[in-house]
Structure 1
Amino acid sequence: MSILAKFNRLTTSKTGAVGWVRRIIWRYGLLREPLRLVVRVARLGLRSTSSLIGHLKSQWLKARHHLRLLASGDWSLGDVRLPSRLEVVFWLRERFRGQTQSHAQVYAACFGQLKPTRTPSLGLRARLSNCEPLRVLLVNDIGFQYGAGTALRRQASSLLLMGWEVMAASFAGPVAKPPSVSGIPSFAGWRGNYVIRLGDEDGSDGEPVGSIADQLRRLAPDAIILGNLHGVADPLQALEAVRACGVPLFVYMHDSYWVTGRCAAPLDCRKYLDGCDSTCPTAHEFPSLRPDRIGEAWRDKAALFAGPEPLPLIANSSWTLELAERRYQGKARTGIARLGIDHWTFAPMSKSLARWLLGVPADRPVVVMGAVDLSNHWKGGPIFRRVQETLSQRDDVHLVLFGRASEKLKAAKVFDYVDDQRMLALILNSADIFVSTAIAESFGQILMEAAACGLATVAIDVGGVRDIVVPGETGLLVKEQSAAPVLRAIDNLLYDREKCLAFGKAARRLVEERYTLKRQADAWADLFRQTAGCTKDAHN
């Protein structure tokens, strides 16, 4: 039986010819409409997978020198190194959208501006003035895991694009995957992940590792960016230990933890303004703290960020910035470094191709919903469940879900927790609309990811969502925290395709203008210069 006949017979199967062709497209980057591939197979008269593999091998041998890709894939076909899907995406966009500056061009340009070596024992100000590459250490509790960990990895990627040296240290052990962006196989400046151990623990050589400050000094960073410490037994004690190493320290707000007594999302509570105390209504929630210690923690944070020698407190959105300024009444050294995204990985692609590759039905509009963990009541609470149940029962739309605990819910397609950024981009590209029902959101990375893929968005108007979802321009915001208005907003976009497409295009433009990795790196460079007292002319 020919492959074309198998295709016609097994159009809904995940096995056989369809599954095999999907794997070929996914692994080897054949970014063409599925029908074109099938027609080509039919015209070639290939009747077996082995003959098709032989043909593909010969074609890639002929075309390999034309691709001029920065190879980073790990797949091969015999002795032939085939480009990954992501590499082909990079090459095609560079070929057909040459006006957009690629990551490789940014990287090369930054290296051209920097001196090739670092002078020993120079501080932050001297290195900036001397145009030498900085060495930046990123510190958090659990490395590159989950939402804040993904943000940390993206921060690392953006700083590496500047041509700087970057390393990460965490209290719970390193995560193997290094920072990466499309088009760059590896970063010369990446110095690896490290584990911060307690002072009474022994290192791999059996010798005491020393204090936290000693461990960080040995890494010799010029600046430290401190992220979430929710998973550490005593976050404030850990912060003081990091501060003790004597390196310029910047504390980053992934949420509202650094302005409250203990919580990461105050919601409607205003006690963080007047004084958190033992009456905290959510003391048992993560990150938990004994009620009798909450008031002390609230006062200690005021001393850290609004005392005689305040630490720089850097916000991830306009909302978190405003939160910090209200909390510390203008006494804090606040700044903002909006998160950035690899907008070459998260970019619009053919919806029909994405649906075909993922097995998502293509006969109706597709709505996608998801988060890192849908069991989190802030992300996947009652509103999410009501919207999910309603959409899954309708016959005019297909629902796609992703995130931990999504496998328990009904939908046309469910993907559970998605750690691969390319896979997440493909899932988003299969949809027409992204819907968020989060009731606590300091910024919303998933909103940024959906916008980068050119999706119109429906979200609840909370926290920092407005930074990425501009009402009436890139999506629709719902004031009321209930399912009914969310469903009405979804219908508004489903029944007005032109508006939906216009919102998606505007969302993509917004990402290209404000939320690229280069924009994020520029923001950090400005913050470093301000802290060091350098002019903008002394830049990396």
Structure 2
Amino acid sequence: MKSACGIDGWPFAVAEAGVARPDTLPDGRPWPQIRVLTVSGGGDAAPAAASVARQGYPEHRHDIVAPGMERDALAGILADAATDAVLLLPAGDLLAPGALVALALELALSGAAAVAGLRVLYTDHVTGLDVPSLTGTETGAEGPCGEVLWSRDALARFALRRFPDPAETWATLPASARRRIGRPVLLKRGRPATRNDALSIVSLTGTGTVGGAGVAHRRLSDALALAGHAVTPVILGQRPMAAEWTDRFPQAEAEIDAADPDFVLVGNVHGATRSLDAVGRIAAKRPTALVLHDLFALTGRCCHPRDCTKAERGCDSACPGPDEYPQLSPRRIAGMHARKRDVLAAPSGPILLANSAWTQGRSEALAPAGAETRPVSLAFPTGIFRPGDRGALRRRLGLPGADVLILVSSVIVDGPDKGFSDLRDALQAVAGPGVGVVAIGRLDDPGRFGIANLHAPGLIGSEEELGAWYGACDLHVTASRHETLGQTPIEAGLCGVPTLAYRTSGLTTSVIDGVSGRLVDCDPASLAAALRDLVADGAARGRLGAFARISLESRFSPASAALSVDAVLRERGLLPDTAARPGFAPDLLGHFPFAAERLPGAEGTVQAPSSPVVRRLRRTKQAVLGRRMPLFVRRCLYLADALRGSAAR
């Protein structure tokens, strides 16, 4: 059976998931006028024409010319002042669903001269995916062509005397003028080039991949596996109660030695230890990178210094929160900070990977001289977090069909770093008849919100189910001021739900202001006012939600994440700095909602919900001690944990 494009085995869904494209760009400008040029001699042009016609991009014109006419045709296109961008589509190739919208939006947002997306290679089935290299010059059939959208002005500079060679043109552009998006834009017959650069990688975490940072590290590791690398997970330890007093992990380090990897990717270790000693020992043996899911590696104790400036001068016993997680006895903080800095400053120390521009800036400010920081993108399951039928989702989840539903989401909803009081006050100002709140995450006392129209499903450990709750809502809001990135705005945005947040920390990366949501000054009154405006303006929410889906899919897919690590590996000499196209396994296509065969999401991403008894005990403890854990209590828990371990042995 052939698809509407006339291709057997069309690997994309017949009913393509997505959101309606807004009529103008985020800043109100018209969408770029795109000219697509196909030379008919390269094969049957009818399928290519069908794939272009199905793009849902009215501002395009497709020119199909005979061989020998391409130079004159292109000259006419480039002389047309109304043309903004050009795509050279070979007759045998087809555009993937939504390709022109994704490429055009990134071209407009970035101001790049050229934007490339992923090629899907196929025979009678998908054989792989790849993307143009940013280094070297690709040649022949491997060179970029139909997967690149060129700005007219940039392409005109290379087409003065002859029809431009896309590979040469791409390579000649300065790196700052080129962009790659991590979503498929082209379907091409063929197989990926044979690659011999796959690495053996150990993905190391403190206690596993449950919870926010653990999930982020698992997704990044999975993205590297899709890029063809052999990834082995290793856990430092399973005794979080002993973390404050544990610096050696012989079993985990032996597992790493036995695997003998080319590269170790470390993240979220503070659940197993309060030091970086093990990371230092590992990095002394083999190339290692430490992902800054938080700022723990750069301080004496904490994950987020908040307003404290001690990490800039040297953390010490005057730490304002030694009893807050991750706890550490005050007398040990100064020494621990010095030990961490020694690890990071060592010639063999781990390279630091920052998941946002803000995190990179903080790392460069707080890390010792000699430490290196590089940017990295986190990966998100863009096929799981996707827009759906909001009415159908609400009926399934038992939510009111006509209300404006505001979403708040966190592993611990009322955690100390989530700005709970600001959030509660803003929500109370708008909640009422017709406006409800959905709070996803651990919330021992829902009454703290003081909102009657509150829906609190608790912790959700299924990515599929979490995506359904996101997609059922109209607006996501957070009052957090301390995020190295902020995963929930990206997850919500991928579901077509915009985010309102403070203009601070990593949220300035996870929320593209005016595109995937709105950022406001760090002031409760500003947050409340913006929330009232968005609750009242359904058209604005819909517009932001549509742009959120398009832009975040391009920037935070598994492919985008893998490409960001690929750049670090090439810089470090672990991958050859050649013209070979970075490639991906066929399964990567299943991570997009328009794939005919979409992959399922992960389960067990958060801890199982606590029993009512545990919740009551936790509320009692917080009422007496707050969220702090005094040293004597920690020592008692450590002793009890050690006794249980001895009894089990």
Global fold match (TM > 0.5): yes
Counterparts of 1:412 and 1:328, CA distance in 2: 43
Distance across 1 between alignment mates of 2:365 and 2:248: 40
The answer to whether the 8 Å contact 1:474/1:507 transfers is yes
The answer to whether 1:109 aligns with 2:128 is yes
Give 3-state SS (helix, strand or coil) of 1:369's partner. Answer: strand
**Does structure 1 residue 236 correspond to structure 2 residue 255?**
no
| Whole-Å separation in 2 of the counterparts to 1:221 and 1:310 | 16
2:279 is paired with a residue whose SS is helix
Instruction: State the match for 1:138 in structure 2.
Output: 203
C-alpha displacement of 1:105: 4.6
Alignment of 1:430-441 (within 5 A): 430-441=472-483
1:213/1:144 Cα in 2 relative to 1: closer, same or farther (>3 Å)? closer
Question: How do 1:204-215 and structure 2 match up within 5 A?
Answer: 212-215=252-255
Q: Is the 8 A contact 2:288 2:349 kept in 1?
A: no
- What secondary structure, in the 3-state scheme, does the structure 1 residue paired with 2:437 have? strand
- Which sections of structure 2, spanning at least 5 residues, go unmatched? 1-7, 19-50, 56-95, 100-116, 133-193, 240-245, 584-649
Q: Is the 8 A contact 2:247 2:274 kept in 1?
A: no
Counterpart position of 2:340 = 301
Distance 1:472 1:330, change over 3 A: farther
Are 1:470 and 2:468 an aligned pair? no
Q: Percent identity over the alignment?
A: 25
2:535 to 494, 506, 510: 494
Partner of 1:35: none
Equivalence for 2:490: 448
1:358 aligned partner, one-letter code: L
Q: Deviations over 1:358-407 (max 9, x none)?
A: 11101222211121112421126322333344444x11312212111167
Give CA-to-partner distance per residue, 1:187-220, whole Å, 9 cap, x none. Answer: xxxxxxxxxxx9999xxxxxxxx55432211123
Counterpart of 1:155 in structure 2 is: 220
Hey, what does 2:556 align to over in structure 1? 515
**Cα distance, 1:403–1:358 mapped onto 2, change above 3 Å:** same
Letter in 2 for 1:279: A
Q: Give a deviation string over 1:128-148, Cα, whole Å, max 9, x none.
A: x97232221111112110001
Match for residue 506 of structure 1?
A: 547
Greater displacement, 439-448 / 226-235: 226-235
Distance 1:359 1:380, change over 3 A: farther
Alignment partner, residue 186 of structure 2: none
Matches within 5 A, 1:160-309: 160-173=225-238, 212-244=252-284, 246-309=285-348
1:342 maps to which residue?
381
TM-score (norm 1): 0.69
Structure 2 residue 468 is the aligned partner of structure 1 residue 426: yes
Cα deviation for residue 518 of structure 1 reads 0.3
Superposition deviation, residue 276 in structure 1: 1.2
CA 1:200–1:248 in 2, change beyond 3 Å: closer, same or farther?
closer
- Contact kept in structure 1, 2:413 and 2:439, CA below 8 Å: no
Q: Distance in 1 between matches of 2:530 and 2:197?
A: 51
Classify 1:200/1:169 alpha carbon distance in 2 versus 1 (closer, same or farther; 3 Å). closer
CA distance in structure 2 between the partners assigned to 1:200 and 1:331 by the alignment: 25
CA contact (8 A) 2:354 2:373 kept: yes
- Work out which structure has the larger RCO, using CA pairs closer than 8 Å and 6 or more positions apart in sequence: 2
AA in 1 matched with 2:439: L
Find the residue that maps to 1:503 and give its secondary structure. Answer: helix
Structure 1 residues 331, 496: closer, same or farther in 2, change over 3 A?
Answer: same
Within 5 Å, which residues of 2 pair with 1:340-419? Answer: 340-379=379-418, 381-392=420-431, 394-405=432-443, 408-409=446-447, 410=451, 411-419=453-461
**In 1, are the aligned partners of 2:500 and 2:531 still within 8 Å (CA)?**
yes
How far apart are the structure 2 equivalents of 1:342 and 1:90?
21
Separation in 2, partners of 1:131, 1:407: 55
C-alpha distance in 1, partners of 2:402/2:17?
A: 28
Cα 1:199–1:472 shift into 2, 3 Å: closer
**Which amino acid in the other structure matches residue 217 of structure 2?**
L
* Contact preservation (8 Å) 1:213, 1:243: no
Aligned residue for 1:510, secondary structure, equals helix
CA contact (8 A) 1:222 1:247 kept: yes
In structure 2, the partner of 1:33 is none
Q: Distance in 1 between matches of 2:540 and 2:552?
A: 18
Deviations 1:436-461 (A, max 9, x none): 12131111110110111111211122
Q: Separation in 2 of the partners of 1:297 and 1:104? A: 48
Higher helix share: 1
Amino acid of the residue matched to residue 169 of structure 1?
Answer: V
Distance 1:308 1:242 in 2: 13
2:97 matched to 1:99?
Answer: yes
CA distance in 1, matches of 2:17, 2:119: 13
Q: What is the CA-CA distance between 1:89 and the residue it aligns to?
A: 7.6
Partner of 1:531 in structure 2? 572
Give distance in 2, aligned partners of 1:90 and 1:243.
48
CA distance in structure 1 between the partners assigned to 2:238 and 2:131 by the alignment? 35
Deviation of 1:495 (Å): 2.0
Structure 1 CA distance, aligned partners of 2:409 and 2:211? 13
Tell me, yes or no, if the aligned pair for 1:69 and 1:91 is still in contact at 8 Å.
no
Q: 2:552 and 2:248 mapped to 1: Cα distance? A: 46
Aligned to 1:77: none
Residue identity opposite 1:416 in structure 2: G
State the distance in 2 between where 1:331 and 1:526 align. 20
Preserved contact between residue 456 and residue 507 of structure 1 (Cα < 8 Å): yes
CA distance in 1, matches of 2:231, 2:445: 37
Hey, what's the Cα distance between the residues in 2 that align with 1:254 and 1:518? 19
In the other structure, the counterpart of 2:154 is none
- Measured in 2, the distance between the counterparts of 1:248 and 1:514 equals 27
Q: Is the 8 A contact 1:400 1:412 kept in 2?
A: yes
| Cα distance between partner residues in 1 of 2:219 and 2:266 | 14
1:396–1:406 Cα change, 3 Å: farther
1:250-283: per-residue Cα shift (whole Å, max 9, x none)? 1110011111111100111111111111111111
8 Å contact from structure 2 (residues 274, 326) kept in 1: no
Shift of 1:480: 2.8
Look up the SS of the partner of 2:212 in the other structure.
Answer: helix
Superposition deviation, residue 90 in structure 1: 9.6
Relative distance call for 1:200 and 1:425 in structure 2 (3 A) is closer
